[in-house]
Amino acid sequence: MKKKVLLYKAIPKQEYERLKARFDISFFDTVNDSNRSDFFTALKEAEGLIGSSLPMGPNVLDKALKLKAASTISVGTDQFDLAYLAERRIPLMHTPDVLNETTADTLFTLLMCTARRAVELSNMVREGRWTKSIGEQRYGTDVHGKTLGIIGMGRIGYALAKRGHFGFNMTIQYTNRSRNINAERDLNATYLSMEALLESSDFICVMTPLTPKTEHLIGEKEFSMMKKSAIFINGSRGKVINEKALINALSKRVIRAAGLDVYEVEPLPANSPLCTLDNAVLFPHIGSATTETRLKMVSCAVDNLIQALAGDVSKNCANGHLLKH
Ligand SMILES: NC(=O)C1=CN([C@@H]2O[C@H](COP(=O)(O)OP(=O)(O)OC[C@H]3O[C@@H](n4cnc5c(N)ncnc54)[C@H](O)[C@@H]3O)[C@@H](O)[C@H]2O)C=CC1
Ligand SMILES: O=C(O)C(=O)CO
């Protein structure tokens, strides 16, 4: 008999067929009031889970009594409680590496758009407000040759730093849980304390995972330490930043501008004060959102689930370190 798998995201047909060839699939594109009880019935029987963007904490997974493996179509694992899963001996598989370059491309786009006020000025053209030279007060600021400070120099942080170093002759500095020797050797990156990085960077990009230790890592105190001319970029998770403090810093011009891909609440409510700020560039969580990369992520997650349900968690297991204890 085929193992039962709960799929909670629409995926390309060829990847769906790969799953279907091996497993008995229950598919939920979304979970809402009309299908919630069917979702929980399927969850109760599922040995495998695959999908993304749904909170899968203990309150949900306590009902998944037969669960043997979960596979998230993302590198971020913050929808899950890793320790809880490890306690139940359930591996959580994720999709590192396949999205590094695309996410770094997005972050650099965000950085450039914010520095050069691209969205604001493009809107000026579209709305017929380009009636004369834009004037000094709408000039952007240079990116090339400036200092890029990265908080969280991991896989994506490194890919972003590469763009800054080789493409834009930027000075790279970073803070991280541990030294990134490759970034120091390849990109001449300098390891700094958080304080030193905040005080001395022209561009500051946050690329840590969201964990209990990084929640609200950047708040009022940190914004006040940045240069008045600093441009802040968040591509990690919204909750790594105290969004209220960021709004305050932007509206009072404590910093120059921010480029955001992620928010405390997603989708960002249209009545968020962020939407009224002309010094904020707002992307709708599109770090990895290209056709090629999203397909690679799904493919990786399908492979991960097949392997994990066969007992092999040697690759891409996010809580492997906890399972060993
Ligand atoms: N905006 C988007 O669409 C995307 C967002 N992401 C987010 O980016 C995160 C990072 O992804 P990767 O680079 O693949 O992860 P990674 O694990 O390779 O890098 C994260 C780095 O953050 C560091 N770190 C963790 N806690 C820290 C702390 N308290 N202080 C300083 N550094 C700390 C780690 O040492 C590590 O080097 C993901 O967890 C996800 O939340 C990832 C992909 C796309
Ligand atoms: O993979 C992730 O963690 C994302 O945020 C989307 O690519």
ipTM here:
0.99
pTM assigned to the model: 0.97
Annotated active-site residue 266? The verdict is: yes
d(CA 93, CA 208): 18
- Is the C-alpha dihedral spanning 228, 243, 245, 281 positive or negative? positive
Q: What letter would DSSP give residue 210?
A: P
> Does the CB atom of residue 52 touch ligand 2 within 6 A?
no
17, 195, 215, 266: the catalytic one is 266
Q: For the chain, 325 residues long, give each residue's pLDDT as a single digit of tens.
A: 999 999 999 999 999 999 999 999 999 999 999 999 999 999 999 999 999 999 999 999 999 999 999 999 999 999 999 999 999 999 999 999 999 999 999 999 999 999 999 999 999 999 999 999 999 999 999 999 999 999 999 999 999 999 999 999 999 999 999 999 999 999 999 999 999 999 999 999 999 999 999 999 999 999 999 999 999 999 999 999 999 999 999 999 999 999 999 999 999 999 999 999 999 999 999 999 999 999 999 999 999 999 999 999 999 999 998 887 6
> Based on C-alpha coordinates, what's the Rg of the chain?
21
Annotated active-site residue 237? The verdict is: yes
- Ligand with an atom nearest the CA of residue 109: 1
Length of the chain measured in residues: 325
Domains of the chain: 3-97+292-323 (3.40.50.720), 100-282 (3.40.50.720)
- What is the separation, in whole angstroms, between the first and last Cα of the chain? 32
